[in-house]
Amino acid sequence: MRNVRVIVQRGFMVPLLVSMALVSIAAFGAEGANTTNAKAQPTQIDTSGPSQLIESAANVLLADVDKNRAVYSKDLTGLYKTVENTLLPNFDTPYAAQLVLGPNWRNATPEQRKRFVDAFYKRLLYNYGGQMLNFTADRLKVYPTKIAPEDTKATVRTEIKRSNGTKVAVNYSMRKVNGAWKAWDVVIDGISYVKSYREDYGTEVAQKGLEAVIARLEADAQAALAAKGKST
């Protein structure tokens, strides 16, 4: 159980980031009923449905990583920008951050909310985004999701194959926002990314206060960017 929790905390960004693992962020590549290597790589993300969004987002990002792996291995800033432009618009980061903060969100000022959302996302990206360079297209299988036209919530089931051959269930919680599907949570072997972080940050906010937690996240993000933005 502890190992799964570590994957949630350290890997959410790669699988869907990639899956923001994460997420998970444990591997980021995708395959549907057939392997993605057997399919034409999409050049843009398909937002027509939840499963299509997850699978095409993985394929688009992975194709970019394959093309620029040598460049990104020396300078990760290009990868960060690709993730921000390609994946971030399809993730409901503000909603996830609101759930992570829980009751503390209501007491936060608009400025604190914005800072928390930005720092939360950037800390994950700068610390773990580089792991995407290690994954290939045969690691993640995306299963079709059946939804009705009126549905506003969905769960996309995926399966990640680890390097030792074992498989991990990784599910993405999706919701419609202004008519567009967006991911807001990743559940790895039954452990929710949002719930895991809510427990951790709830304790820290109670002990140190929200402002101190935000400041720490901002400092962590900047330190990670300085350390990993360019490899030595």
Percent of the chain scoring above 90 in pLDDT: 31
Distance CA(29)–CA(17), nearest Å, equals 10
Cα 71 to chain centroid, rounded: 22
Distance CA(62)–CA(42), nearest Å, equals 10
pLDDT tens for each residue of 18-75: 444 333 333 333 333 233 333 445 568 898 899 999 888 888 888 888 889 899 988 8
Q: H or E segment at 204?
A: helix 193-208
pLDDT tens for each residue of 169-180: 889 999 999 999
Q: What is the DSSP letter of 75?
A: B
- Domain range for 150 is 2-228
CATH number, domain at 81? Answer: 3.10.450.710
Q: What is the DSSP letter of 13?
A: T
Which residues, including other chains, have CB under 8 Å from residue 211's CB and lie 6 or more apart? 112
Domain count along the chain: 1
Residue 129 in contact with residue 18, Cβ under 8 Å? no
Mean pLDDT for 200-216 is 94
Distance CA(160)–CA(170), nearest Å, equals 7
Residue type, 190: G
Which residues, including other chains, have CB under 8 Å from residue 112's CB and lie 6 or more apart? 210, 211, 214
Q: Is the pTM of this model over 0.85?
A: no
Distance CA(113)–CA(186), nearest Å, equals 21
- Decide: helix, strand or coil at residue 3: helix
Q: What tokens appear for 49 in the block?
A: 């449905």
Q: In this predicted structure, what is the pLDDT of residue 227?
A: 83
Strand partners, 167: 161
Q: For the stretch 61-89, what's the b/e string if a residue is b when 16 or more beta carbons lie within 10 angstroms of its beta carbon? A: bbebbeeeeeebeeebeebbebbeebbee
pLDDT tens for each residue of 99-158: 999 999 999 999 999 999 888 888 888 877 787 787 766 677 899 999 999 999 999 998
